[in-house]
Structure 1
């Protein structure tokens, strides 16, 4: 076995570019483990945990890029490093230091080259994120703060300053946004609102929740112009919803916005009421996953609440007088066929998710139908991992414990392939529930990696697999092509994430009628 470590000094790359390099290196035959990462303390600790010698990066700092490979021999290690460099630097000529004009190293240099900029994307280690965001705000820029591990007190201070300047800080940890149909981070391609019925803006404290909402609206023929990601903590009591209030207030004042869809896991109730009050006369639907309206929620008459993403988009369509698509067509028959020969001792659900919001929504729906579901992101602390024998389990594989030292599962399906292979051998499992997220930033062809293994597992008999594909036909991967590949593999492929969760519940409970439950 060969291990190699290469340090590229003074070479900073965005985390998404780093992940592309990691994916390319791990795809090389003979490679056991590899990563491309900035030399932060956390990343170097991960390398040490994976058996690499710290002498290999002696003196490296957070501004240096490290390529680490463990492979079966020297040739495989060299090929992996070459593949990683090609993936990361192909859009930057031949590599670091080869441009006639060096890339800008500061915000000031970038603005000097592009003075008309209005948005800065900040994707640096969390320790440095507040400083860079403050610089961007001082220059009058809205900020997409992609960085995570930003202390909550820094978030509060940054958003208070942004509020005073009437600027948005989308994040921290905001991986999804779309401004005037310009995609930032992980985002789906939607049709031109001018050719659609109505124009909707999505405001979201949930990344894949925002993507699901935008995609469902687009598929229904509704125009989506903006998706404003708030970061997962914005609507908590600790932060107070400053960007949620500003986003809703600004969109409500926009004459081109016909409706607003607010998406979140359960927010602080008082914060939610303050955000909803900003809608004024503009129709607003709040898809607050798993949170039902109570007697204390005195919402404005223009506001409607829903407890699922599908329910939220359906409410928007009704508000705009748009026909409602049938999300259950043929699904009951598919589930009925799936359970007909399902062994009686198989009763358990296993969810392997790449999208945190989709995992959360599945937990809500599965628990309503099947009882407790254990998870690394449980609805209730009593249902945290480890799960007891005979329990339903859903994993959010995008959480930090699964992504340290390896790419996010939306970018690289390898982690889910490992879990799926193990789950396929697990006795008692009736159904595996998967989500597949398309769009910019995601794997270029996830079905090519996942569908063959699904077909292999289904072909052995025993468990069933339900796959939900989130995306649009305009996405680079192509929604119809991806859905068809999973269907050909023998998977059940519902039209919404909520229906996929209900299909899994219906298979486990041997109750096909569950898939038609009102949402």
Structure 2
């Protein structure tokens, strides 16, 4: 095997373009593995774990592009590096006549799209604040997809928006559904009478798809950005969104999704909930509200429970129906767990490799009931913080969407390459017998999930005959990827697919619990 490297000093390419180049490189004859990433500290760690680290990459800086190839022969490596250079130098295809025109700037965009009232901002964080302020001046609501925006800027923007009766979603807001239109990472869901406010993108996707798949629908789904519920921001957008949905005639049920807010902020949120006449369901993962705030307030422990309670309220069903749905799922899980545990010859470990951070939180709420301690790079309790996210031990769940994995890389909902490597590497470990995954469909997500993930799954099963792979698939039948096709393809490969992340966590945990009894 031969490893060769090229460093391109000061060469910046967006992460999705680099992902596409890397995928094409891996298809070059003779190539074993490749990395095409910005040479950040975080990416160097990932490259090292892949066995591609060279002295040239170690010396490279954050603003340098690193191209590393492992190939069967020196000639294969040279051919791959030449191909990489050619791919990077290719000019983007020109837009065809009649396609969307690229605006010269914000003013031009506003003029071109007469009547537009929402701007989506996805630029480097240091530029996002000024651009958002300019949008507010032009009376545009704003969704800030960008992260790394100073918290002081976030607060200033949200306060300015409040004064003008406008909404700022974000920063780091990746999901919303406004008037039926999915924005950024979102799904194709039914319209209906349930309004969602979420300080969690993946959480928003999970509840909206579960609601839609159960035959109910969404009026609006407003993302706030995860930092909104922190003490520094004060839930400015969340509370504003609650007021908007409370006043919206099309919204009859409100659903709040968040990780546990700061206690002082939770007090503000609960005070607002008590003012709302409509029924409110709330899930604060890892921080359930136990007191009865008002007659029609319904706390939930998991995303699944919250979604099904909202469905019952929206359809006028008794809440017992939500318990029935979950109970039936648990019966199925227990049967599957017995079958899978019977394959295990020893007590084993579980590894969760997630693209959705909220799913990691939900896993930490559910799994300890079955397996005991669960460690994570995004722990709900800091005492369970992993020392090294690339060196897992015991039961562990990883958020591959954390900054340590995404600086200079596409989000793992788009780019499966890192998780695929971890699926294979974890499957090779003799102590691992359960892999717990998520697969998130919808707009913005990977459009060919089966093509990209199945080779890794097939290889994982080859390396580990006792392995169980459990996943949920967050999506709907009308998503671009079509959920039923993805589920069918995964099941054909031997993966156990559950309807929800909570269901997948319970099943994976039960397999571990039963295996431990041997």
Question: TM-score normalised by the shorter chain: which range applies?
Answer: 0.7 to 0.9
Residues 85-100 of structure 1: pairs in structure 2 closer than 5 A: 89-90=92-93, 92-93=94-95
Where does residue 485 of structure 1 map in the other structure? 489
TM-aligned CA distance change 1:244 to 1:328, over 3 Å = same
| 8 Å contact kept, 1:26–1:34 | no
Where does residue 420 of structure 1 map in the other structure? 423
| 8 Å contact kept, 1:248–1:275 | no
Where does residue 500 of structure 2 map in the other structure? 496
For the pair 1:76 / 2:80, whether they are aligned, the reply is yes
For the pair 1:341 / 2:335, whether they are aligned, the reply is no
Where does residue 50 of structure 2 map in the other structure? none
Q: TM-score by structure 2 length?
A: 0.84
TM-superposed deviation, 1:327: 3.2
Match of 1:397 among 394, 397, 400: 400
Helix, strand or coil: the match of 2:465? coil
For the pair 1:207 / 2:211, whether they are aligned, the reply is no
Q: Counterparts of 2:395 and 2:486 in 1: how far apart (Å)?
A: 27
Match of 2:447 among 438, 441, 444: 444
Q: Counterparts of 2:99 and 2:305 in 1: how far apart (Å)?
A: 53
Q: Deviations over 1:231-284 (max 9, x none)?
A: 001112221111001111001111111211110011123423433444511211
| 8 Å contact kept, 1:69–1:81 | no
Where does residue 286 of structure 1 map in the other structure? 282
Residues 81-160 of structure 1: pairs in structure 2 closer than 5 A: 83=87, 89-90=92-93, 92-93=94-95, 103-160=102-159
| 8 Å contact kept, 1:179–1:227 | yes
Match of 1:220 among 211, 214, 218: 214
Helix, strand or coil: the match of 1:502? helix
Where does residue 185 of structure 2 map in the other structure? 186
TM-aligned CA distance change 1:8 to 1:104, over 3 Å = farther
Where does residue 259 of structure 1 map in the other structure? 253
| 8 Å contact kept, 1:374–1:384 | yes
Q: Counterparts of 1:491 and 1:2 in 2: how far apart (Å)?
A: 36
TM-superposed deviation, 1:293: 2.0
TM-aligned CA distance change 1:22 to 1:213, over 3 Å = farther
Q: Counterparts of 2:443 and 2:85 in 1: how far apart (Å)?
A: 25
TM-aligned CA distance change 1:18 to 1:284, over 3 Å = farther
Unaligned segments of structure 2, at least 5 residues: 48-52, 70-75
Where does residue 239 of structure 1 map in the other structure? 233
TM-aligned CA distance change 1:359 to 1:19, over 3 Å = farther
Match of 2:242 among 236, 244, 248: 248
| 8 Å contact kept, 1:25–1:84 | no
Q: Counterparts of 1:187 and 1:84 in 2: how far apart (Å)?
A: 30
Unaligned segments of structure 1, at least 5 residues: 513-519
Bigger shift: 402-411 or 75-84? 75-84
For the pair 1:317 / 2:311, whether they are aligned, the reply is yes
Q: Counterparts of 2:262 and 2:101 in 1: how far apart (Å)?
A: 46
TM-superposed deviation, 1:382: 1.2
Q: What RMSD, in angstroms, separates the aligned Cα atoms of the two structures?
A: 3.5
| 8 Å contact kept, 2:285–2:301 | yes
TM-superposed deviation, 1:463: 2.3
Q: Counterparts of 2:285 and 2:133 in 1: how far apart (Å)?
A: 32
| 8 Å contact kept, 1:146–1:174 | yes
Helix, strand or coil: the match of 1:342? coil
TM-superposed deviation, 1:366: 1.0
Q: Counterparts of 1:382 and 1:104 in 2: how far apart (Å)?
A: 49
Helix, strand or coil: the match of 2:229? coil
Q: Counterparts of 1:205 and 1:334 in 2: how far apart (Å)?
A: 33
TM-superposed deviation, 1:448: 2.2
Q: Deviations over 1:285-323 (max 9, x none)?
A: 11111222245xx62333211111011012112223245
| 8 Å contact kept, 1:28–1:76 | no
For the pair 1:430 / 2:433, whether they are aligned, the reply is yes
Helix, strand or coil: the match of 1:131? helix
Q: Counterparts of 2:54 and 2:116 in 1: how far apart (Å)?
A: 41
Where does residue 366 of structure 1 map in the other structure? 367
TM-aligned CA distance change 1:73 to 1:389, over 3 Å = closer
Q: Counterparts of 1:224 and 1:242 in 2: how far apart (Å)?
A: 22
| 8 Å contact kept, 1:119–1:143 | yes
| 8 Å contact kept, 2:141–2:167 | yes
Q: Counterparts of 1:497 and 1:171 in 2: how far apart (Å)?
A: 24
| 8 Å contact kept, 2:424–2:459 | no
Q: Deviations over 1:159-203 (max 9, x none)?
A: 111111111111110111111111111111113x2xxxx421211
| 8 Å contact kept, 2:468–2:495 | yes
Helix, strand or coil: the match of 1:93? coil
Bigger shift: 450-459 or 135-144? 450-459
| 8 Å contact kept, 1:258–1:283 | yes
